[in-house]
Amino acid sequence: MNRRQLLDLYFLEARGKLIDLAAFLDRIERAGGADDHRLEAFRAALHQLTRDAGGKPRAETVLLLMSDPTVEPLDHAPAKGATGAWPGPV
């Protein structure tokens, strides 16, 4: 599909998601309180979206930015769940 066809197919959906993101950030800001590692990673990812990606896939870049970059296994599993963004070394 060409760019026009993809815009026809996905623009409104992406526009809706973009406004949702904006509303999410407004909601967080209204709530006050401290940021945590998730919001910091989220903001860093947003910054990546607006940069000239130079051909590097943005989805992969965002996923890598949220990921644990370390290579050593943990001594024990701290819990079962994941938060969505790496909090840093434990």
In whole angstroms, give the CA distance from residue 21 to residue 61: 18
10 binds another protein (CB under 8 A): yes
48 binds another protein (CB under 8 A): no
66 binds another protein (CB under 8 A): yes
Q: Is 42 exposed, middle or buried (0-12, 13-18, 19+ CB in 10 A)?
A: buried
Q: Select from 61, 57, 49 the least CA-distant residue to 17.
A: 49
86 binds another protein (CB under 8 A): yes
**Nearest distance in Å: CB 52, another protein:** 19
Q: By CB under 8 A, name the binding residues for another protein.
A: 1, 5, 9-10, 57, 59-60, 63-64, 66-71, 73-86
